[in-house]
Structure 1
Amino acid sequence: MSRILLTGVSGLVGRAVHERLSISPINELVAVLRTHVNDFPESTVVAKVADIDGNTAWGDALGGCSAVVHAAARVHVMNETSSDSLRDFRRVNVEGSLNLARQAAQAGVRRFVFISSIKVNGEGTVPGAPYFADAEPAPADSYGISKMEAEQGLREIARKTGMEVVIIRPTLVYGPGVKANFLNMMRWLNKGVPLPLGAINNRRSLVALGNLVDLVVTCLSHPAAANQTFLVSDGEDLSTTELLRKMGQALGSPARLLPVPSWMLETGATLLGRKALSQRLCGSLQVDISKTRELLGWTPPLSVDAALRITAQHFIEQRK
């Protein structure tokens, strides 16, 4: 039986990874939480930690573990209020991650899977010129910088200790339980709110939660994943307009889209101090997952349409 330590189990990705791994009789899971809960199966050991930083003691939780999936992080937020956001991101995402990795290596963990972010590559691409996994990083904000620095530190730990490190950089993740802008989009569509997004010709790569989890599970054991960095998406890039139409169909509430030109939306958003939001709606961000496909023989198991239907069904059920 393989014992696996999971962090970030209360988050969207960590929770889904736990659900996937817990159905296998060959896995014994150690779920790391900040507060204790009782809704885990008997095969899961719950380890409580107050905070994840450079001082966290992991000894008891790591005992007997052969692998770690580190999904916990101080996540990127739209309206940052910290006076020193880079310091705060580094405390959790860099110092916390490297502290866990060092103790994992000392405990004999064979493989450390780190959930990073596409923000390590940057904030946007020119249509037709996607990011590649091994391209030079170009993070533009504190969150992306902290993830890049964590990656660099993990590679050094792998070099010194022999523990295998696998880095996965997801694009925007959506699926059952998704929050933030994607959830707001579903709310607007479900209410039939007219949206001025009917003429957006960008290209964006997204990744369904089920596809990301499938890659994480693959990277836990695939020999070729050792000490590699992978980008992950659904393999089907969409414009914002296409995404809204597909999501509306999945919800059974056809999107009511007004053909407002992108330049007009970007200008208005800039004047209102919402330039970052306009970049997400109108800008492009594409990734090339050919390395992931070829090195691992991996294909996204869910199509965009299937994943959107699952997401929509969960949204509808939660509103009943």
Structure 2
Amino acid sequence: MKIIITGISGFVGQNLNTYLHQMGNEIIPLSLRDPVWEENFPATAIALIHLAGKAHDTSNTSKPEDYLIINRDLTIKLFNKFLKSEIRDFIYFSSVKAVADSLEGVLHENFAANPLTPYGKSKIEAEKYLLGQKLPMGKRLFIIRPCMIHGPGNKGNLNLMYKVVKKGIPWPLAAFHNQRSFLSIDNLSFLVEKMINKVELTSGIYNFADDNALSTNELVNLISGTLGQKTKLWAIPPLIVKLVAKIGDYLPFPLNSERLKKLTESYLVSNSKIKKDLQITNLPISSKDGLIKTFRSF
């Protein structure tokens, strides 16, 4: 089968390309940076996977309109080309951050969206447009909302945590108890391939996450085990940590209130809908095994 992928040079794109090719598919890269991509739009394929987009800028230097131009407007142009094509499936990679930047409880697909960042707002606006269009007979639209994706070659918060533990620095936030969902790139690739091949699967929104959530303390323990080191957890009383973080809001400390929130908050994402609709009980790689594979790659 022919499968078109935008954003193929990114972390997810590279891994999906390799996986889908190994499963016997012909991959057609489509660069939306090419000024004539619309003229070179492939005539036909079984699926179009739209990964290209502007990621969340943690330094907050990007303008809100930059996200809208790339994540919303470019997606609209691409989807309109899809509607007029012979391509069967449009798979749009959105994000759980299109729904909530923080939450209580577990995130399901029917959760009322209330994004706070320009990134999340641009993603939900793209989603609303796609869902508002009438699909021609025989076409399918899948909106994928992945949580934090990881895997070999991925650089991000997990890599930073790995470096801290490797240096032998005790984890100072052990007194905070949280649970977070993660997504192995291997599980992501598995789910996408299964969705494309399950012809009776109907259009819809799907959360992507590993089967089990882990606490930050468990992550530190996994990293230590990967390194062959003894886990070092430092349970400083939360009130003291929060006071230091408050000071960091005004002085150049390594910890401030926003960073403390990201390191200690819970973010649970349910994958029950996609597993139910694909009729699978467990994803191929467990949460812990996927993370260990990622840590070993560092």
Question: Pairwise mapping of residues 172-211 of structure 1 onto structure 2 (< 5 A)?
Answer: 172-211=148-187
Give the CA deviation at 1:76.
0.4
Distance 2:241 2:186 in 1: 32
Q: Secondary structure of 2:144's partner?
A: strand
| Range 288-297 or range 247-256, more displaced | 247-256
Give the CA deviation at 1:21.
0.7
Q: Does 1:218 align with 2:194?
A: yes
Distance 2:169 2:152 in 1: 22
Q: Which residue of 2 aligns with 1:45?
A: none
Give the CA deviation at 1:91.
0.5
Cα 1:256–1:22, aligned 2, differ >3 Å: closer, same or farther? same
Q: Which residue of 1 aligns with 2:2?
A: 3
Q: Which residue of 1 aligns with 2:85?
A: 107
Cα 1:3–1:142, aligned 2, differ >3 Å: closer, same or farther? same
Give the CA deviation at 1:224.
4.8
Give the CA deviation at 1:119.
0.5
> Which residue among 294, 299, 304 is the counterpart of 2:276?
294
Q: Which residue of 2 aligns with 1:285?
A: 267
Report if the CA contact (8 A) 1:266-1:282 is conserved: no
Q: Which residue of 1 aligns with 2:28?
A: 30
Amino acid at match of 2:193: V
Question: Pairwise mapping of residues 215-254 of structure 1 onto structure 2 (< 5 A)?
Answer: 215-254=191-230
Q: Does 1:161 align with 2:136?
A: yes
Q: Secondary structure of 1:62's partner?
A: coil
Give the CA deviation at 1:187.
1.3
Q: Which residue of 2 aligns with 1:39?
A: none
Give the CA deviation at 1:92.
0.6
Cα 1:19–1:92, aligned 2, differ >3 Å: closer, same or farther? same
Amino acid at match of 1:294: K
| Range 7-16 or range 250-259, more displaced | 250-259
Cα 1:147–1:58, aligned 2, differ >3 Å: closer, same or farther? same
> Which residue among 101, 105, 109 is the counterpart of 1:133?
109
Equivalent pairs counted in the alignment come to: 290
Superimposed CA distance per residue, residues 87-112 of structure 1 (whole angstroms, 9 cap, x where no aligned partner) = 11010100111111111221211101
Q: Which residue of 2 aligns with 1:305?
A: 288
Give the CA deviation at 1:277.
2.0
Report if the CA contact (8 A) 2:171-2:234 is conserved: yes
Amino acid at match of 2:96: I
> Which residue among 43, 48, 51 is the counterpart of 1:63?
43
Give the CA deviation at 1:7.
1.1
> Which residue among 148, 151, 154 is the counterpart of 2:127?
151
Report if the CA contact (8 A) 2:222-2:292 is conserved: no
Give the CA deviation at 1:59.
4.0
Amino acid at match of 2:88: R
Superimposed CA distance per residue, residues 45-100 of structure 1 (whole angstroms, 9 cap, x where no aligned partner) = xxxx436xxx8633424222221111111000211113xx2211010100111111
Q: Which residue of 1 aligns with 2:17?
A: 18
Runs of 4+ in 1 over 4 A off after TM superposition: none
Give the CA deviation at 1:14.
1.1
| Range 167-176 or range 192-201, more displaced | 192-201
Q: Secondary structure of 2:161's partner?
A: helix
Q: Which residue of 2 aligns with 1:260?
A: 236
Superimposed CA distance per residue, residues 244-283 of structure 1 (whole angstroms, 9 cap, x where no aligned partner) = 1122212323332211234443443343233332222111
Q: Does 1:87 align with 2:62?
A: no
Q: What are the ranges of 5 or more consecutive residues in structure 2 without an aligned counterpart?
A: 250-255
Cα 1:146–1:225, aligned 2, differ >3 Å: closer, same or farther? farther
Amino acid at match of 2:45: C
Report if the CA contact (8 A) 1:59-1:103 is conserved: no
Cα 1:102–1:133, aligned 2, differ >3 Å: closer, same or farther? same
Q: CA RMSD in A?
A: 1.9
Report if the CA contact (8 A) 1:130-1:287 is conserved: yes
Distance 2:102 2:55 in 1: 19
Distance 2:203 2:8 in 1: 24
Q: What are the ranges of 5 or more consecutive residues in structure 1 without an aligned counterpart?
A: 34-48, 316-320
Q: Does 1:73 align with 2:53?
A: yes
Amino acid at match of 1:30: I
